[in-house]
Structure 1
Amino acid sequence: MTKSADRASGGEEVGPQSGLLLRRALPGLDVAAAVMLSAFMVAVSAEARVVQPEARPMTALGAALLVLSGSALAARRVAPLLSFSLAVGAAAAFLGMRFAGWPVYLGAFAGLGVLVSQVSRARVWVPLAVVGGGAIAVATGPPEGWHLGRMLAVAGVWTVVTVVAARWAHTRRRLAEQEAEARVVRERLRIARELHDVLSHSLASISLQAGVGLHLVDRQPEQAREALRGIRQISTDGLAVPGVIGSAAYRVVQEGLTNVMRHAGNGVHARVRLRDVGDWLEIDVTDDGVAPSRSVGPPGHGLRGMAERVSAVGGEMRAGAETGAGFALHARLPLGGAA
């Protein structure tokens, strides 16, 4: 993924953040796991007919179904519903055609794990899990002589795995939400500390001027009015001291690029543009990635925390999917002349 930062007068390179290398490597790990699972199922199933002489001999079609069931794992992050459907559908077809081999169940249960762990809405994954489990159980018993005990055993194991996986996924999501909320709280505390450090002198001056104004408001109203003007000027200047604005701008760019690296995928170009427009510093972070999941649902904790930081210094921020492709983050921060 290539990243560039442009100012009105030129540009400079912005390097990737090493903390996200693992996230970028995860899709590759998914592909490797899918390949190994497919190879294992094909290799073991080819020998399984020795103990299942009544089963259908392994053919190219049977091997293709095993490969399809195992390779579906590679799409578990980008298309979990498709991954589940392919894994379970291919496994059910393999069993229904009476091919030999127990490893096919690994592909089916891997698809179930993808569904439960990657799809958070119960009204979506529960019906699919029930249908998938029913398909695998029915396919286990041959039409010419239903093995009711075997079918019930498969359905029971499927149910147990579903419940365990659902509880694990729920716990994982809850912990992730708690950690995200803790990050937002830490960000708020960091904002407060920065504002305190930078604005402490301004606040002291405001307090002094307010005391003068209160003392003179009745006897010398003109001087009290001057004190109020001074308070207004000090507070205005305080919202645009370089330390606060510089820190906010840095965080906006950091969060924008982090969002790109987490969600936009590989081979995507990102651009950071900073411009002085009147009394405002405008920041745009855009990319040309295609990530439909980024355009739906509420913004993440990172973007919410960044919006709070920008708002705390008197700025504005918006973020969302662009028309067609890509994602854009735009922020405006007040400079010295901001009112």
Structure 2
Amino acid sequence: MNSGNGSSPGRSRWRGRAADAALAAVLAAAIAFQAYGIASTWGGGYWWPGAAAGAAVGVIALLRRRGRAVAAAAGLTVAAASVPVSWWFGLPAEPGPAAALALAVLTASAVGRLPARPACAVAAGGLAVVGIAALPELGSSSGMPVVWLNLVLWLGGLAAGLGPRLLAARRRRAAERVRRDERLAVARELHDVVAHHITGIVIEAQAGRIEAPEGPGGGRSRDSFAAIEAEGAEALAAMRRVVGLLREEDGASLSSPAERLTDLVERFERRGGPPVRLHRPEDEPAWPPEIAAAVHRVVQESLTNVARHAANAGEVTVRVTRDGEELTVEVADDAPGPPPRPRPGGYGLVGMRERVRALGGTLEAGPRGGGGWSVVAVLPLADRRSP
């Protein structure tokens, strides 16, 4: 199993190289066929400008994976520039078959992989090149076959790019439906089973407070029952918030990320934790649901670690900042001296790191230079599902 999974990227690279080799062979054949046809009908050295343009766009197409948007823009620029040059010097119509084929490959690559706006821009640019090439041939029949060939190849590239894109969008919608159904199923279980038992615990704790005997022992019992009741009521409220989150169609929560962070910090302080300074963005953050959940989880687990291992800290700082398309979450304490035991081995830290990595981010935890411990998570806000 491990060897198979490890060789998958290698197989993918091999297929990509094989496809590029096949494309290079097809482009070379197209350039040779174009040069032979022009030399046979036009004679002289009329064949080499078209061959040079086709080779230039072909090389760009072969390098498209290094930057699809830049490659598409460069290919369109070369093809568009070849049209007035060929018309001005009385050369055969451009883009020729080789350049048109390379442009179709660039169009398919951009439309299939780039975000919507640059993909539409590349598709529109390809159509504009076809239109520019048709202008010098209006009223003439000699160059129109090349224009029609350009149009057909552009349509083929557009279709080749749209097919995988639409298929990927359909798969994402199907996956979203499955996740939504799973969330609703979990919400029903939490509401019907877990919440029912927690409610029973709260009721039993209330009854215990009433029935506790008088005297010092009874007072301690009433305090214990009161603590159980408070914790149960808080757990029930948190359960209801989770159920509400799971039942939201778009994954949005019933309260904003900022409100949930404030509530988390207040509960931490009510339970006897060190004072917390919370710094968050001024405006209301519009984070994706999975990012908001990850931020909440990182802060929650970090504060739990502070309560367990740094109860002597004078202050805890929770800072959430945004820099472009990255969100940084930092939780730091100022507990003096080394931590009482190594913290990286805990499952909480492992769970945080796995959650952050699953979203394409990074998490670092360790001692601070001036004393204490810090956890820093960097989460990308950009769409991670884009191909």
Q: TM-score, normalised to structure 1's length? A: 0.52
Aligned counterpart in structure 1 of residue 172 of structure 2, from 180, 187, 191: 180
Provide the residue aligned with 2:103 in structure 1.
111
Q: What is the Cα deviation at residue 111 of structure 1?
A: 0.7
- Classify the secondary structure of the residue corresponding to 1:225: helix
Aligned counterpart in structure 2 of residue 275 of structure 1, from 356, 365, 368: 365
Quote the Cα distance in structure 2 between the aligned partners of 1:149 and 1:215. 96
Please say if 1:71 is aligned against 2:59. yes
Q: What is the Cα deviation at residue 225 of structure 1?
A: 1.4
The aligned amino acid for 1:111 is L
- Classify the secondary structure of the residue corresponding to 1:256: coil
Provide the residue aligned with 2:79 in structure 1.
88
Q: What is the Cα deviation at residue 133 of structure 1?
A: 0.7
Q: What is the Cα deviation at residue 212 of structure 1?
A: 1.6
Q: 1:273 to 1:18 in 2, by over 3 A?
A: farther
Provide the residue aligned with 1:309 in structure 2.
none
Point out the structure with max Rg over C-alpha. 2
Equivalent pair of 1:44/1:103 in contact (CA under 8 Å):
no
Quote the Cα distance in structure 1 between the aligned partners of 2:84 and 2:143. 15
Deviation per residue, 1:253-292 (Å, 9 max, x gap): 35538xxxxxxxxxxxxxx65315779754559xxxxxxx
Q: What is the Cα deviation at residue 93 of structure 1?
A: 6.3
Aligned counterpart in structure 2 of residue 57 of structure 1, from 45, 49, 60: 45
Q: 1:209 to 1:19 in 2, by over 3 A?
A: farther
Quote the Cα distance in structure 1 between the aligned partners of 2:95 and 2:33. 7
Q: What is the Cα deviation at residue 176 of structure 1?
A: 0.9
Quote the Cα distance in structure 2 between the aligned partners of 1:204 and 1:276. 40
Aligned counterpart in structure 2 of residue 124 of structure 1, from 111, 121, 142: 121
Aligned counterpart in structure 2 of residue 209 of structure 1, from 190, 201, 205: 201
Q: TM-score, normalised to structure 2's length? A: 0.47
Equivalent pair of 1:84/1:112 in contact (CA under 8 Å):
no
Deviation per residue, 1:95-130 (Å, 9 max, x gap): 545567999313214314523651444762454233
Unaligned runs of 5+ in 1: 1-15, 258-271, 286-294, 303-339
Quote the Cα distance in structure 2 between the aligned partners of 1:176 and 1:168. 13
Q: 1:170 to 1:136 in 2, by over 3 A?
A: same
User: How is 1:1-339 mapped onto 2 (pairs within 5 angstroms)?
Assistant: 18-21=7-10, 28=17, 32=21, 35-49=24-38, 51-52=40-41, 54-57=42-45, 61-77=49-65, 78=67, 79-86=70-77, 88-89=79-80, 92=83, 96=87, 97=89, 104-115=96-107, 118-119=110-111, 120-121=116-117, 124-125=121-122, 127-138=124-135, 141=137, 148-163=140-155, 165-183=157-175, 206=198, 209-216=201-208, 222-231=223-232, 246-247=350-351, 249-256=353-360, 274-276=364-366, 282-283=376-377, 298-301=382-385
Deviation per residue, 1:15-34 (Å, 9 max, x gap): x9654445656775675456
Q: 1:151 to 1:101 in 2, by over 3 A?
A: closer
- Aligned residues: percent identity? 14
Quote the Cα distance in structure 2 between the aligned partners of 1:105 and 1:153. 10
Q: What is the Cα deviation at residue 183 of structure 1?
A: 4.6
Deviation per residue, 1:8-47 (Å, 9 max, x gap): xxxxxxxx96544456567756754564344323433343
Unaligned runs of 5+ in 2: 213-221, 239-266, 268-296, 305-345
The aligned amino acid for 1:225 is A
The aligned amino acid for 1:274 is E
Aligned Cα root-mean-square deviation (Å): 5.3
Quick check: 64-73 or 203-212, which moved more? 203-212
The aligned amino acid for 1:71 is V
Equivalent pair of 2:79/2:94 in contact (CA under 8 Å):
no
Q: What is the Cα deviation at residue 85 of structure 1?
A: 1.1
The aligned amino acid for 2:129 is G
Deviation per residue, 1:118-165 (Å, 9 max, x gap): 1444762454233201233345x4xxxx76234444444544544454
